[in-house]
Structure 1
Amino acid sequence: MADCSAICVATCVAMELMESSDDESNFLLESDRKDRHKTQDFFEWTVPRYFPDMFKKFFRISPQSFELVCQLLGANEQLAKRTYRGGRQEIPLEKKVMIVLRYLASQETILGISDRFNITVSTFTKYREKVVNAINDLLPRFVQWPEELDSVAIKFNEMGTYEFQNIIGAIDGSHIPIEQPLECPNSYYNRKKFHSVILQAVCKDDLSFVNICVGMPGRCHDAKAFKHSHLSEIGDELCRQGQYHILGDAAYALMRWLITPFRDNGNLTREQYNFNKFLSSKRQVIERAFALLKGRFRRLKYVSIRDIKCICKIISACCVLHNICLQSDEDIAEFIDAEIDELDANLGENFPVNADNGEGILKRNNLTIELNRVNS
């Protein structure tokens, strides 16, 4: 099946400014200060001495995943090794990738990363752009809608305590904090009083993303971000005309392929209350996926760049790497950030939602009867 992921990039593009510093403590910083090889030979001498757990803590991916990423990027024309024609030797691919991974994995400043790897800030900026672009080129391969929908639905049904058949994904939006853009700053200023862009994503039971849309301004409600995404146009086809469905919260309009909870105005029936409980237990997987994404790639906790296009590429690159790492069967427990829910909580309250679809209402009513029967 052709790739169905869409990256929605906002049109407000501005100059990239300096990166802000963070009080994050760098792993092994004290030992590095005592190491005479720290600046000149960090890549050549220090990193090879890291045990796998040290490497994983510093770069937020395992050595095995790092090798896979380098292998995947090795064929990219932007990163291909060129014939040496004299002058300064070209930086090895592994070092370029390592530099960018450290950037995505932390809130360390560009100046700090450049010093650590013994490169100039301009060299860092050049290779960040090339590596991020190369990772984005992998998006159609690693962020794509599943073809075997039956197997996905079975795994969703087996997940957790309750049965809920024919689920193939869960959808939500997450706010990525950014520096105030020079153009259209009010559009990116959300209700929690910080600037952000929205990452809308659909994930499977294994936390991998199957569809992403990046770049809608933080002021937008989830329902509006969804309406402007390609998924809103093709979702029914992807879910085979309602044979399968994805789960969303009450911010989304109810459709035969997008199932949402009953809005609780204080008069829910017992069956409706139970249905909401069943749905919530399955839909939590997308919140866990966002917590893993932001916990692993801590740059997403605050992207101090004013170029919206660059920000969107960085976010989507993190989503691609997120999926690659999951394919490598990494232990993810140490990366999941429990504080992420607080960042996105209630950003959509008091916003109007689109009208529920008649076919969606009928399907949810039938699901309510069936789920109360099988889970009783």
Structure 2
Amino acid sequence: MYKNACVASAGRAVLEMMQYDWEPLSHGELDQRLDQAVEEILEAELMSKVQAQSSPVLLQVSRAEDPVLSLQVQPQDLAHSQLVFHLSDTIAISPDSDHELQRQSAEKAEENPAVQHIMDLLKNANTSYNRSRLAGRARLSLSHTVLLSLTLLSKRRSYRSVSTSFRLEKGNIHRIFFSFCDRVNALEEQQIRWPDGQEMTDNLLPFSSLLGMHDLEERGLPKVLGVLGHTRIPIRLPIGKQDVEKDELDLKHLTKEVHPDSWLNLELVCDGQGRFIHCRISRGSEQERAGDLSRRIKNNPCMVPPGCCLAASSGYPLTEQILTPYSAGRGPRENLFNRMLESHLCRLDQAVEDLKTRFQRLKYLDMGNYERAKAVVLTACILHNVFLDMGDSVRGQPGRGLREQEQEGERDEAGLKWRDAIAQQLYSALDMESI
């Protein structure tokens, strides 16, 4: 059983490598090359016959976007008219209609505002992946590339299904899609960026918006710069990576226990509009919560200046810049603080639901390669911001995904004092309001 499972895993890995590195000619290229070959053969045969009989035949070959052979014969050479007409009819059977459909489809794709906007962004992208493409391989117009890739991201359709719709080989679809992801990933720093200056000031949110007392911020309560949290993206785990100590592999047992690397951790910070300002993708087995982000903030205090904070769920470190909720079962003061914080945490929950609703392929990435899966997830996050900037929003169903319940993370002394002070300020203000 173990050997069979390993052989299946190895075969799947080899197939993915072949799909990634081998790209067959498209239907259009095959048709075009066949047409050219037939033209050359028939033209050579016709010329040999004409030269043998010394008949005054005028041969004209006209090529437009696709090769079409047109022959004209002088009236006095009626003896050979049947041959010419037969040749003309034969060559007339060309992929003109197919190319015309592709041309019309490309024009419609370019008329789509989303496709056009993404095309404009990608035209300046210059990546090693595109430079390494082999000359002579089938290529797709940029508009079709964007449309094809958005189709794969937004729907859980197989490469085979999309290859039928776009009339391309499955291996070609695979290569084009990851070329698109590579080019979009090059836009990460441009599209997922930490705000600063006036942009930061404009996006700050009042911490106590639920109480309706805006003067609390004047009393020293912080404003919320963003919401920190994470979600999981399930991926296919190569069976060879399972921890197997026995001689035989119990497949039924593996289906019941979730391996930590069968998903990706997607750590995000979103602003008040649901736009991602931080994105980090890691393996499911990596349990560190916002370690890199905490160190960045510590080394660059201007990222979260005084009077500002990040709202985070349980499990994240409690610091002066990152506020997390109290554990359950505390007093009314702590519960009030948790309610105020929860009103902000819901923003990230909604942003994640919007992301997964628009890009349904994130529900399950059927790929065992970590780097490729990471590229697809990052592409979706970048395009999430691109669509929001365009004013194109998709509303996911709130509460569909349950937030993972975790124990409190690391807490430093300054963070504990800061959280207690905010909780006391809120509770005192509520008591004064009720009098």
- Cα distance change of structure 1 residues 316 and 87 upon mapping to structure 2, 3 Å threshold: closer
2:264 aligned with 1:197: yes
Find the residue that maps to 2:13 and give its secondary structure: coil
Aligned-partner Cα distance in 1 for 2:424–2:185: 44
2:315 aligned with 1:251: yes
2:184 aligned with 1:184: no
Aligned-partner Cα distance in 2 for 1:79–1:92: 19
Instruction: Tell me the residue number matched to 1:108.
Output: 157
Instruction: Tell me the residue number matched to 1:120.
Output: 169
Instruction: Tell me the residue number matched to 1:168.
Output: 225
Structure with the bigger percentage of helix: 2
Residue 124 of structure 1, CA deviation: 1.1
2:13 aligned with 1:15: yes
- Cα distance change of structure 1 residues 204 and 87 upon mapping to structure 2, 3 Å threshold: closer
- Structure 1: runs of 5+ lacking an equivalent: 1-13, 19-36, 53-62
Find the residue that maps to 2:290 and give its secondary structure: helix
Instruction: Tell me the residue number matched to 1:70.
Output: 119
Aligned-partner Cα distance in 2 for 1:210–1:294: 17
2:201 aligned with 1:150: yes
- Cα distance change of structure 1 residues 144 and 81 upon mapping to structure 2, 3 Å threshold: closer
- Output the amino acid matched with 1:179: R
Does the CA contact (< 8 Å) of 1:208 and 1:289 recur in 2? yes
Aligned-partner Cα distance in 1 for 2:326–2:338: 7
Please point out which of 210, 217, 235 is paired with 2:277.
210
Aligned-partner Cα distance in 2 for 1:145–1:304: 31
Aligned-partner Cα distance in 2 for 1:144–1:205: 14
Does the CA contact (< 8 Å) of 1:156 and 1:168 recur in 2? no
Aligned-partner Cα distance in 1 for 2:383–2:283: 21
- Cα distance change of structure 1 residues 248 and 183 upon mapping to structure 2, 3 Å threshold: farther
2:364 aligned with 1:302: yes
1:78-93 aligned at under 5 Å gives the runs 90-93=139-142
Aligned-partner Cα distance in 2 for 1:327–1:106: 22
Aligned-partner Cα distance in 2 for 1:184–1:296: 31
Please point out which of 234, 253, 276 is paired with 2:296.
234
- Output the amino acid matched with 1:300: L
Please point out which of 373, 388, 396 is paired with 1:326.
388
Aligned-partner Cα distance in 1 for 2:230–2:256: 14
2:413 aligned with 1:358: yes
- Output the amino acid matched with 1:15: A
Residue 113 of structure 1, CA deviation: 0.6
Does the CA contact (< 8 Å) of 2:225 and 2:308 recur in 1? yes
- Output the amino acid matched with 2:13: M
Find the residue that maps to 2:401 and give its secondary structure: helix
Aligned-partner Cα distance in 2 for 1:193–1:308: 17
Aligned length: 316
The one-character-per-residue Cα deviations of 1:89-142 (angstroms, maximum 9, x if unpaired) are 742111111111111111100011111101111211221121100000000000
- Cα distance change of structure 1 residues 119 and 180 upon mapping to structure 2, 3 Å threshold: same
Aligned-partner Cα distance in 1 for 2:372–2:232: 16
Does the CA contact (< 8 Å) of 1:159 and 1:282 recur in 2? no
The one-character-per-residue Cα deviations of 1:250-275 (angstroms, maximum 9, x if unpaired) are 211211111001111x2x22111111
- Structure 2: runs of 5+ lacking an equivalent: 1-11, 17-95, 215-220, 245-253
- Cα distance change of structure 1 residues 210 and 126 upon mapping to structure 2, 3 Å threshold: same
- Cα distance change of structure 1 residues 133 and 89 upon mapping to structure 2, 3 Å threshold: closer
Find the residue that maps to 2:410 and give its secondary structure: coil
- Output the amino acid matched with 1:124: I
- Output the amino acid matched with 2:114: S
Identical columns (%): 17
- Cα distance change of structure 1 residues 80 and 282 upon mapping to structure 2, 3 Å threshold: closer
- Output the amino acid matched with 2:201: D
Find the residue that maps to 1:305 and give its secondary structure: coil
Instruction: Tell me the residue number matched to 2:56.
Output: none
Instruction: Tell me the residue number matched to 1:96.
Output: 145
Residue 339 of structure 1, CA deviation: 6.2
- Cα distance change of structure 1 residues 43 and 321 upon mapping to structure 2, 3 Å threshold: farther
Does the CA contact (< 8 Å) of 1:156 and 1:282 recur in 2? no
Aligned-partner Cα distance in 2 for 1:89–1:306: 26
- Cα distance change of structure 1 residues 166 and 311 upon mapping to structure 2, 3 Å threshold: same
Instruction: Tell me the residue number matched to 2:248.
Output: none
Find the residue that maps to 1:304 and give its secondary structure: coil
Does the CA contact (< 8 Å) of 1:203 and 1:210 recur in 2? yes
Aligned-partner Cα distance in 1 for 2:195–2:429: 27
- Cα distance change of structure 1 residues 138 and 326 upon mapping to structure 2, 3 Å threshold: same
Aligned-partner Cα distance in 1 for 2:129–2:101: 23
Cα RMSD for the two superposed structures: 3.5
Aligned-partner Cα distance in 2 for 1:16–1:261: 47
- Output the amino acid matched with 2:373: I
Q: Greater CA radius of gyration, 1 or 2?
A: 2
The one-character-per-residue Cα deviations of 1:312-338 (angstroms, maximum 9, x if unpaired) are 0110011000000000111423xx144
- Cα distance change of structure 1 residues 121 and 181 upon mapping to structure 2, 3 Å threshold: same
Find the residue that maps to 1:171 and give its secondary structure: strand
Does the CA contact (< 8 Å) of 2:130 and 2:179 recur in 1? no
1:37-76 aligned at under 5 Å gives the runs 44-45=103-104, 63-76=112-125
Residue 16 of structure 1, CA deviation: 7.6
Find the residue that maps to 1:91 and give its secondary structure: coil
